[in-house]
Amino acid sequence: MESSIKPDIQCEFLPLLRVYQDGHVERLLDTDFVPATSNDSLTGVLSKDITILTEPNISARLFFPKHINTNQKLPLLVYFHGGGFCISSPFTSKYHNYLNTLVAEANVIAVSVNYRKAPEHPIPTAYEDSWVALQWVVSHSNNDGPESCLNDHADFERVFLSGESAGANIAHNMAILAGHPEFGLSVPLLGVALVHPYFWGSDPIGSETANMDSKVATDRLWPFICPSNPDNNDPRVNPVSADAPSLTGLGCKRVLICVAEKDVLKDRGWVYYQELSRCGWMGVAEIMETDGEGHGFHLYDLQNEKAKDLIQRLAAFFNRDMPPLI
C-alpha cells in the first residue's frame, strides 16, 4: 500500500503537527498570537508578558484583575496550558481568552507558563521549564522578586496550580516535586486543579476502547513526545503505575479533578481521584464530571453554560477557606 506521507515528511501527528526530514516542525493548530492587553474589552483583566529565563527561553503571561486595592492580596494561580506537550502557548487566543475569563470570575492573579515544546524539546523539558517557572514565581514570596505585581498582591498562603490536558499532567508532576523532601518549594501549595488531565497507561481501562480512533492517537502521544522512555506506563503519564511515586507525597492540601463524559481520558481522571481518596494522602480530593461534553470543550465556547459552570467551580475552589490542619 502506497504511503500517504510525502517524501519530505518524516512523520505526522495529525491534527497537531508534521515533522519534516530536515527537522522543521509544522504546527497545524493553535498557532495564532494575541498580544497582552492593559484592559481586556470583555473582562477588564490586565495582562503582560514576562521573561523568566533567557537561556533557555522560558516566558509567561501574567494576568491580574483590573481593580486591586493597594494592600489587597489575591490567590495566586500558576497555570500550564494544554496541547499534547507539542503545540499551543499562553499567547494563543484560546488560552489568553480562557485565562481572562477565569481570572475575572475567580479574582485571582495568574501566571500562564510558556514551556518549550516537543518534538524539538522532548520530555522532560516541559517539566524542567515548568519547575523553573514555579520556582521563579515563589521567589516573590518575600516581596523582593522581579515582578512588582506578584510582590505587592500575590497571597503566597493561597498558591494553586492548574492546567488543561497536558498542562494538568504538568501540574500533577509539579505537585509531586513540591512534596518531595529533596526538592520542595519555599512556600506550600494550597491546591491543584486538574482539568481533563492527560493521564494514560499501557492497558486500557473503562470505556477507553469504545472510541478506537481516540485511543490509538492517545497511545501514540507519549512515545512521540518522550522517545527516551516511550512506555505509556511511565510514572509521569501514569501516576498510578507500579513504578509511580505514592500519591501520599502530593505536595498540596486539596485537589479538584474535572473530567468530561465524552473524553477518552475521563476514566483515568476517575482512577486518579479514587487513588487519592484511598491512598492515605492527608488532603481533600473532589471531582466534577461534565455530562455530554468532550475533551477541552470549555476552551472553544466560554459562553456555553457548561463552560461557565466549570469556570465557576474552579473559581470557588480557588477562593474557598483554607482547610483546617489535620
**Active site annotation includes 121:** no
Using CA atoms, how far apart are residues 81 and 90, in angstroms rounded to an integer? Answer: 7
- Omega within 30 of 0 (cis) for the link into 119: yes
Catalytic residue selected from 140, 153, 196, 295: 295
287 CB neighbour count, 10 Å cutoff: 17
Using CA atoms, how far apart are residues 257 and 192, in angstroms rounded to an integer? Answer: 8
Tell me 206's DSSP state.
T
**Active site annotation includes 241:** no
Planar angle of CA 97, 100, 106, nearest 5 degrees: 135
**Active site annotation includes 24:** no
Residue 113: name the closest of 187, 61, 175, 153 by CA: 61
Planar angle of CA 48, 53, 56, nearest 5 degrees: 125
Planar angle of CA 148, 184, 112, nearest 5 degrees: 45
Residue 80 has phi, psi (to 5 degrees) of -120, 120
Alpha helices by DSSP H, listed for the chain, are 93-106, 125-138, 148-153, 166-178, 212-225, 266-278, 305-319
Residue 317: name the closest of 165, 194, 157 by CA: 194
User: Cell 481522571 appears where?
Assistant: 269
Catalytic residue selected from 112, 234, 263, 298: 263
Contact 285, 273 (CB under 8 A): yes
Catalytic residue selected from 165, 196, 234, 298: 165
Q: Where are the beta strands (DSSP E) in the chain?
A: 9-13, 17-20, 25-27, 46-53, 58-64, 74-80, 109-114, 154-164, 189-195, 252-260, 284-290
Among all residues, which ones are annotated catalytic? 165, 263, 295
